[in-house]
Amino acid sequence: MNMYTQWDPFSELRRTMDNLFDQGFSRPWRLMSGNDYESATPKPVDIWETDEALVVKAAIPGIDPANVDIKVTNDGLAINAEVSSQEGDENRRFHRRELSHEGFSRAFTLPSPVDSDKAEARYENGMLYLTLPKAEAARPKQIRVGTTNGRLLN
The confidence score (pLDDT) of residue 140 equals 78
Spell 11-50 as b/e; 16+ CB within 10 A means b: eeeeeeeeeeeeeeeeeeeeeeeeeeebeebebebeeeee
The confidence score (pLDDT) of residue 22 equals 61
The confidence score (pLDDT) of residue 33 equals 43
**Which helix H or strand E contains 49, and what residues bound it?**
strand 45-49
The confidence score (pLDDT) of residue 79 equals 92
Return all residues near 97 (Cβ < 8 A) that are at least 6 apart.
Answer: 35, 38
Residue ranges of the domains in the chain?
A: 9-37, 42-86+98-142
Predicted TM-score (pTM) of the model is: 0.59
The confidence score (pLDDT) of residue 96 equals 80
Residue range 42-86+98-142, CATH number:
2.60.40.790
pLDDT profile of the chain (154 residues), mean per 10:
64 72 53 45 85 93 88 89 68 75 82 92 94 86 76 61
